[in-house]
Amino acid sequence: MFRKITAALAATLGLAFLVPALAAAPASATAPAPLAVRTIYYDAGGAQEFRAAVDEGAAAWNAAVPAIRLVPATGGQATVKVYADNGWPRTYMYGFGQAVIYMGREAVNDGFYPPRIAAHELGHALSLPDNRNGRCDYLMSGHSSPVSCQSTTPHATEAAQVSRNAGSWVPAARAAAARQATYPDCFVF
């Protein structure tokens, strides 16, 4: 009986000291912490004549989405690698910020603007699918937009989705499994 009374008294005294301390806690302790910027390193060394276009596409995403930073890689830190070839532009995704991009010359030969192609393919590396709506103001419309379209600016809805993608990081295996159910891992401009 004595132990029960002692335990109850200790609990009551503990709460008496704890409650005022909790009430005096600063309001910022309950505010959500700001999201850290996700830095994604890309290597455009294999992009040949499209290297400047890739840099311009990365700059467009950096300007539109404060939650990410696409940065040229030094050494072996790149998780996005960009190459040039004679096919159609395409991206092979391996999770958010992990991809292999091919800047295909075929689309450029058809008249599409290389910086827009690069920004579009980088959008796939940021986990965005194609939407094929034909609108120039949507970067992910890809080749459904007219060849005269030279906008590299992501639409506000695309930027918001990338921001959500950057803040809701999941392991690559789980992300790939979820993505597989929705769209393929290779996106073609």
**Amino acid 142: pLDDT:** 92
Q: What are 186's two structure tokens?
A: 């290779």
**Alpha-carbon separation of residue 13 from 6, 7, 10, 17, 39 (angstroms):** 10, 10, 5, 6, 48
- Domain membership flag for residue 124: yes
On whether residue 77 sits in a domain, the answer given is: yes
DSSP 138: -
User: Which residue range is the domain that position 112 belongs to?
Assistant: 38-188
What pLDDT is recorded for position 174? 45
pLDDT value at residue 75: 85
pLDDT for 60: 99
| Cα 36 versus chain centre, distance | 13
Listed as ranges, residues in the chain with pLDDT below 70 are 1-35, 168-189
Percent of the chain with pLDDT over 70: 70
| 31 in any annotated domain | no
Which residue type does 184 have? P
Cα atoms in the 13 Å half-sphere on the side-chain side of 18: 6
Q: How many domains does the chain have?
A: 1
Is 30 part of any domain? no
DSSP, residue by residue, 45-97: EE-GGGHHHHHHHHHHHHHH-TTEEEEE--TT--SEEEEEESS--EEEESSTT
Diameter of the chain by CA atoms? 89
Quick check: is 21 in a domain? no
Q: If we measure between CA atoms, which residue out of 64, 90, 76, 60 comes closest to residue 159?
A: 64
Task: Output the pLDDT for position 10.
Answer: 53
**Measuring CA to CA, how many Å separate 153 from each of 4, 118, 129?**
68, 11, 16
Would you state the pLDDT for residue 36?
81
Q: What is the CATH number of the domain that holds 55?
A: 3.40.390.10
In a domain, 19, yes or no: no
